[in-house]
C-alpha cells in the first residue's frame, strides 16, 4: 500500500499538538493510501516533550504509524526536516509521497488529497501550496504585512529560480520519495531558510512544480509564531546564494538525537 509520510517539526507547540495530530490521522486520503507520521521534537521544553512522547504513543497504540525523534538541542525547522527526511528515506518506497506539516494549526490536513492529486495524475513532480488568492484574502494589518512580505520573497525566489509560484514560503510542499532523495543533498539550512532552499533545489533539478490553494489560519507571535524579520533577511540571502551554487553544500552537521528520546512506534 502506498504511504504518505507526514514529517512534522515540533518545538513547544504543546497547546495545538493533539488537535493537529488528530486532524492529520483523520485526513481523507485517496483510496488505497495509508499515512505514517514522523514527529521531530526539536528539543522542546520538558512539558512539551512529554506531550509529544505521549501523543506518539497514543497514535501508535491506536494503530497509526507514528514515530518520535528528538534533538538533543534546538536547531530550527530546517534541521528538524532534514532529520525527518533522512528517517523517511530509509523506509520509503518509490511510490510513496512525503509532505511537511507544521504543528500549530495554521494549515489544514484536509488539503492533503488536493495536494496529492497533481502527483498522482502525473502532472507534476512536486506540489507547493499557496495561501493567499481568490480563495482567501488577508485580513487586518498584521496579516496584510505578512502576505506582502511573503509576496516579495516569492517574487525574488521566482526571479532567481525561474519557477513561478505564488507562495514560496508555504509550509505545504509535497513530493515523491525518489524526488526527495534527489533534493535532500541540497538542503543545509537549519531554520526557515529551508523553504527557499527547497524551491531552489526543485528548480535546479528541473522538477515540474504545480500549485494548489490551501486553507490557512494565521496565528500571531503571542500564540507562539516563531518566524521573524531576521528570517526574512536570511531567506533573501539563501535565495541569492542558491542561484549561484553549482555543487551541493557541505552538509550541515546533523543534529544529535537525544538518547533519552527513544522513538515511539
Q: Out of 41-50, 212-221, 242-251, which region has the weakest mean confidence (pLDDT)?
A: 212-221
Q: Let me know if residue 238 belongs to a domain.
A: yes
pLDDT at position 264 is: 46
Contacts of 22 (CB under 8 A, 6+ apart): none
Q: Let me know if residue 258 belongs to a domain.
A: no
pLDDT at position 259 is: 75
Query: pLDDT tier at 148 (50, 70, 90 boundaries)?
Result: confident
pLDDT at position 265 is: 44
pLDDT tens string 155-165: 999 999 999 99
For residue 186, pLDDT over 70 is answered with yes
For residue 263, pLDDT over 60 is answered with no
Q: Let me know if residue 148 belongs to a domain.
A: yes
SS3 203: helix
SS3 170: coil
Domain span at residue 47 reads: 3-244
Integer Cα distance of 240 and 224 in angstroms: 29
For residue 111, pLDDT over 90 is answered with yes
Q: Let me know if residue 252 belongs to a domain.
A: no
Closest to 175 measured CA to CA, from 120, 110, 236: 120
Q: Let me know if residue 210 belongs to a domain.
A: yes
DSSP bridge partners of 128: 173, 211
Q: Let me know if residue 43 belongs to a domain.
A: yes
147 within 8 A of 164, measured Cβ to Cβ: no
Q: Let me know if residue 99 belongs to a domain.
A: yes
97 within 8 A of 119, measured Cβ to Cβ: yes
Interval 28-54 mean pLDDT: 97
Burial code of 72-109, b = ≥16 C-beta within 10 A, e = fewer? eebbbbbbbbbbbbebbbeebeeebbbbbbbbbbbbeb
CATH of the domain at 197: 3.90.550.10
85 within 8 A of 188, measured Cβ to Cβ: no
Q: Exposed/middle/buried for 64, CB within 10 Å: 0-12, 13-18, 19+?
A: middle
Q: Let me know if residue 18 belongs to a domain.
A: yes
34 within 8 A of 4, measured Cβ to Cβ: yes
Q: How many domains does the chain have?
A: 1
The pTM (predicted TM-score) of the whole model is 0.91
Amino acid at each position: 500500500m502506498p504511504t504518505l509520510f507526514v514529517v512534522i517539526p515540533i518545538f513547544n507547540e504543546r497547546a495545538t499538538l493533539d488537535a493537529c495530530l488528530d486532524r492529520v490521522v483523520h485526513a481523507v486520503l485517496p483510496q488505497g493510501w495509508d499515512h505514517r507520521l514522523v514527529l521531530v521534537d526539536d528539543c522542546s521544553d520538558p512539558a512539551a516533550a512529554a506531550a509529544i512522547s505521549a501523543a506518539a504513543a497514543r497514535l501508535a497504540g491506536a494503530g497509526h504509524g507514528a514515530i518520535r525523534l528528538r534533538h538533543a538541542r534546538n536547531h530550527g525547522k530546517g534541521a528538524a526536516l532534514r532529520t525527518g527526511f533522512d528517517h523517511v528515506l530509509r523506509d520509503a518506497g518509490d511510490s510513496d509521497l512525503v509532505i511537511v506539516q507544521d504543528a500549530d494549526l495554521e494549515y489544514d490536513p484536509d488539503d492533503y488529497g488536493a495536494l496529492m492529486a497533481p502527483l498522482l495524475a502525473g502532472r507534476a513532480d512536486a506540489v507547493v501550496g499557496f495561501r493567499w488568492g481568490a480563495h482567501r484574502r488577508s485580513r487586518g494589518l498584521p496579516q496584510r504585512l505578512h502576505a506582502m512580505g511573503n509576496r516579495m520573497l516569492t517574487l525574488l525566489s521566482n526571479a532567481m529560480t525561474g519557477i513561478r509560484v505564488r507562495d514560496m514560503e508555504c509550509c505545504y510542499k509535497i513530493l515523491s520519495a525518489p524526488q526527495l532523495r534527489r533534493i535532500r543533498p541540497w538542503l543545509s539550512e537549519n531554520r526557515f531558510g529551508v523553504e527557499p532552499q527547497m524551491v531552489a533545489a526543485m528548480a535546479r533539478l528541473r522538477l515540474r512544480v504545480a500549485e494548489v490553494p490551501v486553507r490557512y489560519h494565521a496565528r500571531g507571535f503571542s500564540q507562539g509564531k516563531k518566524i521573524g524579520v531576521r528570517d526574512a533577511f536570511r531567506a533573501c540571502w539563501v535565495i541569492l546564494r542558491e542561484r549561484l551554487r553549482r555543487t551541493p553544500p557541505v552538509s550541515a552537521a546533523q543534529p544529535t538525537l537525544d538518547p533519552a528520546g527513544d522513538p515511539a512506534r
